Structure formats: structure tokens, C-alpha cells
Amino acid sequence: MSLRAAAWLALLAVAGCGGGTAVSDYGTVVKGAKGTTVQVELRPGQRFSLAVADNPSVGDDWSLVEVPDTKVASYISEERESEGGGPGSGGTTYFVFNAKRPGTTEVRLFNCWRCGQDRTPTTEESRRQSGEAIFAVTVK
């Protein structure tokens, strides 16, 4: 193997490219859904994930509306796990955070259903199917 090929393989291994996710520890998983508000209580230093069911093949596209108060919780990453290997499989999107200091903050996730790149519902059906999952986070 050439030095260049070995360096490339080492870079891929460090970068985490492949079938896995960037984060292997989701911490405490809290499930939410469009149209709901979920209360979340945590301890400082606790890792947690806000999870929403999704299926991109039918139009689901969840995103973090805005980063929560960084004194209370810090955002780490967005991860997705499929429930099946085939096309059209549903799954779960996880928004991973670390609880920081005592306080409260709100995390809003938005499912922009079939919105495209502009992230704005353009049809009546898209407006009806889009919506937020809200998580009221308290660190004690």
C-alpha cells in the first residue's frame, strides 16, 4: 500500500466515515412529536437526545428551530437512524445535547413537510402536515 493510500485510510477512520453515526451515545432519549410539548428534567453534565419519528421519503424534514440557551444546554449534533434497510423506511431523528448549568430553556424542532430547500410550506397540504415539537428543558 502506498503512503498516500495509507494516509487516506487513516483520515477516513479518524473522520468516522462509514455506516455509523457521528455520536454513539445519545444519553437519555426523550421522545416528542409534532403538536406536543414535552417536559424534560436533567442534571448538569447529563447528555440527552430529543427524538422525533420521521420518514424523509414521504416528506418529513426535521430541523432545530434555534439553538437553546447555551448556558443551560449545548447542542452537539443531529443524527438519524433508519428502522429498515430499504427505500422508504421510516426512522428516528435525534437532536443530541449536553445539559450544562441549572436553568430552563425551550427547544423547538420543526418538521417542514415537503417544503424543499426554502424551508417554507408552499401548499395548503404542506402547511397542514408541518409543525413543531416543543421540549421544555429544565436542568436542576
Tell me, what's the pLDDT at 119?
A: 78
Distance from C-alpha of 48 to C-alpha of 39, rounded to nearest angstrom: 13
pLDDT tens digits, 75-117:
999 999 988 766 777 999 999 999 999 999 999 999 999 887 7
pLDDT tens digits, 11-23:
333 333 333 456 7
pTM to 2 decimal places: 0.80
Domain count, the chain: 1
For 50, other C-beta atoms within 10 Å of its C-beta total: 27
Domain assignment of residue 112, given as a range:
23-139
How far is Cα of residue 64 from the mean position of the Cα atoms in its chain? 7
Residue at 4 is within a domain: no
Tell me, what's the pLDDT at 138?
A: 98
Residue at 13 is within a domain: no
